[in-house]
Amino acid sequence: MSQAPFPRRIAFLGDYPPRLCGIATFTHDLCEAISEAVPESECYVGAVNDRPEGYNYPSRVRFELREKDLDSYRRAGDYLNFNNAELLCVQHEFGIYGGTAGSHLLALLQEVRMPVVTTLHTVLQDPSAAQHKVLLELADRSERLVVMAEKGADILKETYEIPAGKIDVIPHGIPDLAFADSEPYKAQFGVEGKSVLLTFGLISPGKGIEHAIQAMAEIVSHHPDAVYLVLGATHPQLLATEGERYRLSLKRLAEDYGVNKHVIFHNRFVELEDLTEFIGATDIYITPYLNEAQITSGTLAYVFGAGKAVISTPYWHARELLDGGRGVLVPFRDSGAIAEAVRRLLEDPSQMQTIRESAYTMGREMVWARVAQRYLETFKAAGAKTTATPRRAFAKWTLDHRPLALPPRRLDHVIRMSDSTGILQHAIYNVPNYHEGYCTDDNARAFILCNLLDELGDEPPSGSLNRLASCYLAFLAMALDRSSGRFRNFMSYSRTWLESAGSEDSHGRALWAAGTGAGRSRDGGHARLSAHLFEQGVQAVVSFTSPRAWAFTLLGIHEYLRRYPASSSLLSIRGTLTNKLITLWRAASSKKWPWFEESLTYENARLSQALILSGQWMPSKDALEIGLKSLRWLASVQTAESGAFRPIGSNGFYTKGESRSEMDQQPVEAQAMVSASEEAFRATRDSSWTALSKQAFDWFMGRNDLGVALYDFTSGGCSDGLHADRVSENQGAESTLAFHLALAEMNKAEETAVTLTMLPSPLLN
């Protein structure tokens, strides 16, 4: 082992209390153990927040980052560099970091200039392509990798081909508890004289607690003094999405099996001091987990190390700890086997004592003081393998390495323009114009925006994203005439429809929004209603003549297919609409005018975008080639001599053989080019497309013919257009939503760029 000195400034990154999760507890315990082992070192923490308001952290936490905010990861890297951290110890779990497969973390690791030791709390044997690549990148940017079981090391070597010399196996740390009889602890819980079975930790369906409850019927028939204590709060993520449904189902199950007098639920997150008392009162600990691929369990480690008899299903961590008679393994989902194992131990005290002593002996290698020394050895090895180069804090701060940051999102004007009916069409300056009422087009755009922001983790400070999404979706549901299968478009402020059916384009845009909700929404009700609206309205498009309606519908179809299985009728409609666009192209295009029509009008890039999507996912080589070729030509037509984006002006548009209109440039054109260019990049991995999307986005920010920004940083609104001598002073819904949709697209592209360029093109799958 290297004789490099211990690092004196050690930073830890992960979840941290008072956030309730196992990694938060682990980060805290490891940091405290290291601090106690080397008190001359300075240990501090960077905490990952999963909610906008963060947590009331103790002073040990020096910096925070938002889970889904990519830029906060870069700022965290800067903080570590400027504060001269000598080592960074990362706690890794795919689910706690933002981006594709948690790829945001890589942005931080790319910035830091100190050795990195990463503890892998999950090692997947069958990862997705993105998870596989992220872990390889994580390994590449870490000097050492720590796993808590030999199985984890085996998977790293076999699945990821990581050299054994880079991997350290260090067990999950545990408190150093005395080996004690359970009876003295039971009185304080009112269970003296009873046989106490325990399961503890954050409660969720994967814990398999229902099988232990079912086993109690058999157990209490032979041991009527037995009680089963289920200790722990419901997992916060489960609580947010389902409430206490799982816990209530367990209580009903106990009643159904007639063991409700023998099952105790203690619904709270237990701190270590109280937890040791509960462990002390335990006779048998049960972990009936359902997933074999669990590489570590902190709860199992705690009880095992305290010398308690353990009965567990054979997930990976349990197999290693309980091997050699240190516990009892039972099959997954087998309540009968659990009951038999409990009875055998309760009826053979000598066997239980042997198991306890064997577990406690091994547990002495897992106490935090010993684990801290193992980590310090790993930290020394990491420092010894790091090339000693001076930290250059500004070395990669030039714009070629750090492009100008995207503006922060400000949804004030979107919220201002929205009421209980939907989003209003127009504004006078930045004030909603009630006289013009509402339209389906804008509510469709607003609903799409809500879904994209939800994926990005954005939440407007002055309003609930889910509430806004519900409002816009309700408008779309009201807009659909069930008898005709057509969406209406314009509604007065008095909530009176002004037409029996909207334009074909507005119908297509409504389908695009409904498809997006069906495919992306995390709200089950939103997803189901969106799917219903989509299915009700999609058939009408087959008879439409508008190319843009075809394109909008194709965008909606591909969104819908994200979640719902493709029916033969929907695949047929996709093929029909794709062929309509291809036929249009072949009839109208020429060498000098490679386009679908004799004129360029509005949202032109959507035609290309729709074919690029169909080309990838049908797949269709012709559709993809036409989509890319037409979009490349459109980009050239919409680029000024200065290199800035110059969309076709709406004051006359651009007809083949005539002069193009330069002015009354519309925000929807820039947004369409951003979206289409990013789709082209996803299809080709050609970075020139990302340059085009940035060029189009910069139009909003002032890189345009007048050199004036259309986005209003103070209101969060966007001007309605660029005229020959000025920008429009009105900030309507269409233009404001165009900006925010473009910004969301840019944010999404930025967060996925780390892994996307390294994955195969969908067309090649």
> What pLDDT digit, counting tens, does each position of 695-707 carry?
999 999 999 999 9
Question: Considering only 234-243, 398-407, 606-615, which range has the smallest mean pLDDT?
Answer: 398-407
Phi, psi of 367 (to 5 degrees): -65, 150
pLDDT at 678 (0 to 100): 96
The amino acid that residue 286 corresponds to is I
Its sign, for the CA torsion 250, 251, 255, 260, is positive
Cα distance between residue 402 and residue 217, in whole Å:
63
pLDDT at 387 (0 to 100): 44
Mean pLDDT of 573-582: 97
User: Which uninterrupted H or E stretch holds 544?
Assistant: none
Mean pLDDT of 518-533: 96
pLDDT at 752 (0 to 100): 67
Statement: residue 262 has pLDDT above 70: yes
Mean pLDDT of 555-569: 90
Residue in 221, 175, 222, 219 with CA at minimum distance from that of residue 197: 219
Mean pLDDT of 565-579: 91
pLDDT at 35 (0 to 100): 96
- Of all residues in the chain, what percent carry a pLDDT higher than 90? 79
pLDDT at 430 (0 to 100): 95
- In order of 58, 67, 409, 646, the CA distances from 53 in angstroms are 15, 12, 16, 40
Statement: residue 254 has pLDDT above 70: yes
- In order of 47, 92, 368, 593, the CA distances from 11 in angstroms are 11, 14, 18, 59
Its sign, for the CA torsion 491, 492, 496, 500, is negative
Q: pLDDT tens digit string along 631-651?
A: 999 999 999 999 999 999 999
Q: Which of 65-74, 234-243, 287-296, 351-360 has the highest mean pLDDT?
A: 351-360
Q: Is 575 exposed, middle or buried (0-12, 13-18, 19+ CB in 10 A)?
A: middle
Statement: residue 3 has pLDDT above 80: no
Contact in structure between 605 and 673 (CB atoms under 8 Å): yes
Statement: residue 48 has pLDDT above 60: yes
Statement: residue 748 has pLDDT above 70: yes
Statement: residue 317 has pLDDT above 50: yes
In the chain, what are the domains?
A: 9-173+369-384 (3.40.50.2000), 183-366 (3.40.50.2000), 408-565 (1.50.10.10), 573-756 (1.50.10.20)
pLDDT at 404 (0 to 100): 55
Cα distance between residue 64 and residue 71, in whole Å:
12
Statement: residue 93 has pLDDT above 50: yes
Confidence of residue 758 (pLDDT cuts 50, 70, 90): very low
Mean pLDDT of 385-410: 57
Cα distance between residue 206 and residue 667, in whole Å:
47
Distance of CA 124 to the CA centre of its chain: 17
Strand-pair category, 9-14 with 87-92: parallel
Mean pLDDT of 76-80: 94
Cα distance between residue 341 and residue 222, in whole Å:
13
Strand-pair category, 61-66 with 87-92: unpaired
Cα distance between residue 611 and residue 592, in whole Å:
20
Question: Considering only 227-241, 350-364, 440-454, 481-495, which range has the smallest mean pLDDT?
Answer: 227-241
Confidence of residue 549 (pLDDT cuts 50, 70, 90): very high
Statement: residue 405 has pLDDT above 90: no
Q: pLDDT tens digit string along 123-179?
A: 999 999 889 999 999 999 999 999 999 999 999 999 999 999 999 999 999 999 899
Statement: residue 562 has pLDDT above 70: yes
pLDDT at 274 (0 to 100): 79
pLDDT at 760 (0 to 100): 47
Cα distance between residue 319 and residue 323, in whole Å:
6
pLDDT at 243 (0 to 100): 86
Statement: residue 389 has pLDDT above 50: no
Contact in structure between 138 and 92 (CB atoms under 8 Å): yes
Residue in 674, 637, 640, 683 with CA at minimum distance from that of residue 656: 637
Statement: residue 406 has pLDDT above 90: no
pLDDT at 753 (0 to 100): 65
Statement: residue 407 has pLDDT above 60: yes
Statement: residue 764 has pLDDT above 50: no
Cα distance between residue 653 and residue 637, in whole Å:
12
Residue-level length of the chain: 765
Confidence of residue 396 (pLDDT cuts 50, 70, 90): low
pLDDT at 403 (0 to 100): 52
What is the SS3 assignment for 196? strand
Mean pLDDT of 89-104: 92
Phi, psi of 110 (to 5 degrees): -70, -25
Mean pLDDT of 602-620: 97
Statement: residue 424 has pLDDT above 50: yes
What is the SS3 assignment for 47? strand
Residue appearing with tokens 């032979």: 222
Statement: residue 230 has pLDDT above 60: yes
Question: Considering only 238-252, 317-331, 354-368, 634-648, which range has the smallest mean pLDDT?
Answer: 238-252
Contact in structure between 17 and 28 (CB atoms under 8 Å): yes
pLDDT at 457 (0 to 100): 78
Mention every residue, 6+ apart, whose C-beta is less than 8 A from residue 512. 444, 448, 552, 553, 555, 556, 559
Mean pLDDT of 509-532: 96
Token code pair at residue 560:
């819908």
